[in-house]
Structure 1
Amino acid sequence: MSSILLVDDEPDLLETCRVILAAEGYAVRCARNGVEALRLALRQPPDLIVTDWMMPVMGGGELCRQIRAHPVLANIPILVQTATPPPGPADWDDCLIKPVTAALLLATV
C-alpha cells in the first residue's frame, strides 16, 4: 500500500483529501503545517507528499526546500495544491490550482 503525507492548514480540506485518498486504498497521514510534516516524514518517509503552499509556521515552499535538501527525503515526489501558482524555481514535481476536484487529485496522485 502506498503512503501519502497530506499537509494543509485547513482542517476541512485536509479531511476531505484524506477521505478521498483513503477510499482508494492509500495509507494517509496528515499534518497541519510544514514543521509537523517534516517531523512525520523523517519518522516514516511517505511515498508521496501533497502539500498546501500558504501555511503558518512553515509554508509549502520552505517544506519543499527542506525535503529536497534532506538525503532521506530528497527523492520523494511532491505535489503542491495552492490557490495561486507558486513562484519558481520548482522544488516540487507537480502543482494543482485549488479548488481541485477529487478526480483530478486522484489522477495526479
Structure 2
Amino acid sequence: MLTNRQSRMHSILLVDDDPDMLAAWQAILVHEGYAVCCARNGLEALDHLKVRIPDLVITDWMMPLMGGAELCRQLKAHPELGHLPILVHSAAPPRAEEVQTWNACLQKPAPMQMFLTTVEGLCKGDRS
C-alpha cells in the first residue's frame, strides 16, 4: 500500500539564513520523500512563491532583509497564498504576545522525529 508521500510527493519551501541548517534539513526532507526548495530570507521566499506554490513553508524567525514574522504576515494576507500552512522553526521563536500567523512552531534544535511528524501533519492538512 502506498503512503500519502509515496502517492504524491509534497513540496516544501525551506527558509533559513543559516546555510548549514538549510543543507541539513533539506537533505533530511529529501530523504523522507519531499521535494524541497530553499531560500535564505523572506524576500527570496517570496520570489520562489511567484514561480511555484509549495504544500508547506518552513521558516526561521530571525533572518536578514525579511524575517519570518514579516514573511508570515505577507503570506497570510495574500489572497492566493493565505491558505499555505507555515511551520516556524527557530532558535528564537515568536513571543506569545505576537499575532499568530503560522500553524505550528518548533524551537531549534527540534528533535528530528518531532520535526518530521509536524511536517507530515501539516502536509496532510492538520492545521490546528
Structure showing greater radius of gyration is 2
What is the CA-CA distance between 1:51 and the residue it aligns to? 0.2
Q: Which runs of 5+ in 1 are unaligned?
A: none
Aligned residues: 109
Q: TM (normalized to structure 2)?
A: 0.82
Q: Which whole-Å CA distance do the structure 2 matches of 1:34 and 1:85 have between them?
A: 16
* 2:3 aligned residue: none
1:103 aligns to 2:113 (yes or no): yes
Q: Which runs of 5+ in 2 are unaligned?
A: 1-8, 120-128
Q: Which whole-Å CA distance do the structure 2 matches of 1:91 and 1:53 have between them?
A: 12
1:8 aligns to 2:48 (yes or no): no
Q: Which whole-Å CA distance do the structure 1 matches of 2:24 and 2:110 have between them?
A: 11
Which segments of structure 1 move beyond 2 Å, counting only runs of 4 or more?
none
Q: Which whole-Å CA distance do the structure 2 matches of 1:81 and 1:62 have between them?
A: 15
RMSD: 0.8
* 2:26 aligned residue: 18
Q: TM (normalized to structure 1)?
A: 0.96
Q: Which whole-Å CA distance do the structure 1 matches of 2:101 and 2:107 have between them?
A: 16
* 2:101 aligned residue: 91
* Cα pair 1:65 1:91 within 8 Å, conserved: yes
1:32 aligns to 2:51 (yes or no): no
Q: Whose RCO is larger (CA < 8 A, sep 6+)?
A: 1
The one-letter amino acid paired with 1:3 is S
**What does 1:16-95 correspond to in 2, within 5 Å?**
16-87=24-95, 88-95=98-105
